[in-house]
Chain A
Amino acid sequence: MQRLVILAVLAALGASAHADVGASMVVHASTYGGLDEGGAGVMLEASRRRGRLEYFGDLGVSVISGKRGTIGLGTGTDTSLLGGVRVIARSFVADEVAFELAIDLFGGLQQLWWSDEDVTRPLLGAGLGWQVRLNEKTTIRVMTRLYAAPTVSDRDEPICRGACPEQPREAALGFMGMFGVSW
């Protein structure tokens, strides 16, 4: 059901004649209730631009690895569905090329999955980056993002194998780096 919603949102965004679509390589890392996880993957984006604002929806899939203390959790996947707004804070136009400073605010859901366990958590974050727009059609973008999730509840806490090290309850804090293109 969750994946159907994701596809429906992206299809709705992509169906608009004025929407841009894009793809980025993404790396991320975060902590979550004593769990350290990180990985790399692909982020697909659909966006609409109105003046200095860009409304976007992102669907990301990454391969991740995680560990709790010194205990590894092996390889898993991260599926993220994010939505937000990007503000073009500054723009410098030279001929048909624009160099732009972008700040974005976003929220969404992230599902971390291993073979026998998974965690789904809400995210809220902000990003900063720059982009080059060519002929108002193609955009090359570099973004760095910082995000946070609420404090882990017992229900959300991943199950660890073997002896679980005692970890303090803590809110998740993570970052992601993105390099991509949209058109």
Chain B
Amino acid sequence: MVKALLVLIATTSVASAHPISYDHVILVDSNPPPNLIVAPPPPPPPAEKLHTRLGWRVGMGKLPFGQLEVSTIELLQLTGDIQLTDRTRTFAEYELMLLTPDGPPMMKSVGGIGHRGSVGLVREILGRRTRDGAAAFDLSGELGGGATLVSGTIGDRVLPHGLAGLRCGFSLHPEHDTKREPSFGFELLVRATFVPDGVGFGFGLGMYWGE
């Protein structure tokens, strides 16, 4: 009892000798504060991969060239397309052409070589796919323009041109998505080419790879 009394006196004297400064009191709430560390925002969805096509085509046609009517054989065509929307693509292509002036069969010979570059837009007009989505048919229209560098015995010229045509295609889609997944297809092209000397026509048959 005596010991307890002494401890009480000592504690009281120390407390009065060092009064509590309320400036330094930290109030502790019995309820923990809300957790201020929030989860980082989810990463933005990955940018949609650009769907492109590369293709190979051969073709032939007719082209007015000055006073001549010229037969063209498009030996080598490289085409590239970029999908803009589900139904619209932009394209660029290069063609190597053999130009043969029309005349009697015995007199025909290659009169020149043409390098033609074109750019334009393709718009799907009609599209159908099989029930499982693994194959698709489409009919598309195209508009564009470009220039042709012609050289040879028929003359050296640069011909600007506009073009309009129709494409009929058949494609395979193992991922069963006809727009955005790898694909492989065939395409038949019918095209009118507008040059300063008139209008030419041609057709082509090609294949393309989409990614």
CB-based nearest A residue for B151: A173
- Provide the main secondary structure of the chain B interface: strand
Known: A92-B183, A99-B209, A101-B209. A144 touches B75 (CB 8 A): yes
Asked if A25 is at the interface of the complex by the 8 Å CB criterion, the answer is: no
Q: Name the interface residues of B167-200: CB closer than 8 Å to any CB of A.
A: 172, 174, 182-184
Partner of A146, one of B54, B96, B174, B211: B96
Bound form: Cα–Cα A99–B208 in Å: 10
**Contacting pair A90 B211 (CB below 8 A):** yes
Interface centre among B76, B78, B182 (most CB of A within 10 A): B76
- Provide the main secondary structure of the chain A interface: strand
Could you say which residues of chain B place their CB within 8 Å of the CB of A130? 56, 207
Bound form: Cα–Cα A101–B56 in Å: 8
Could you say which residues of chain B place their CB within 8 Å of the CB of A129? 56
Q: What's the A-B contact tally at a CB cutoff of 8 Å?
A: 44
**Contacting pair A94 B56 (CB below 8 A):** no
Count residues on chain B whose CB falls below 8 Å from chain A CBs: 20
What 0/1 readout, one digit per residue, does chain A (90-124) give for beta carbons within 8 Å of chain B? 11101000010101000000000000000000000
**Contacting pair A175 B76 (CB below 8 A):** yes
Asked if B163 is at the interface of the complex by the 8 Å CB criterion, the answer is: no
Asked if A53 is at the interface of the complex by the 8 Å CB criterion, the answer is: no
Partner of A101, one of B54, B58, B76, B113: B54
Which residues on A are within 8 Å of B, measured CB to CB? 29, 89-92, 94, 99, 101, 103, 127-130, 144-146, 173, 175, 177
Would you give 27 A-B contacts (Cβ < 8 Å), ordered by A? Answer: A29-B110, A89-B209, A90-B211, A91-B209, A92-B172, A92-B182, A92-B183, A92-B184, A92-B209, A94-B174, A99-B184, A99-B207, A101-B54, A101-B56, A101-B209, A127-B76, A128-B56, A128-B76, A128-B77, A128-B78, A130-B207, A144-B96, A146-B76, A175-B75, A175-B96, A175-B98, A177-B75
Given A128-B77, A175-B75, 18 further pairs, Cβ under 8 A = A90-B54, A92-B172, A92-B183, A92-B209, A94-B172, A99-B209, A101-B56, A127-B76, A128-B56, A130-B56, A144-B58, A144-B76, A144-B96, A145-B76, A146-B76, A146-B96, A173-B113, A175-B96
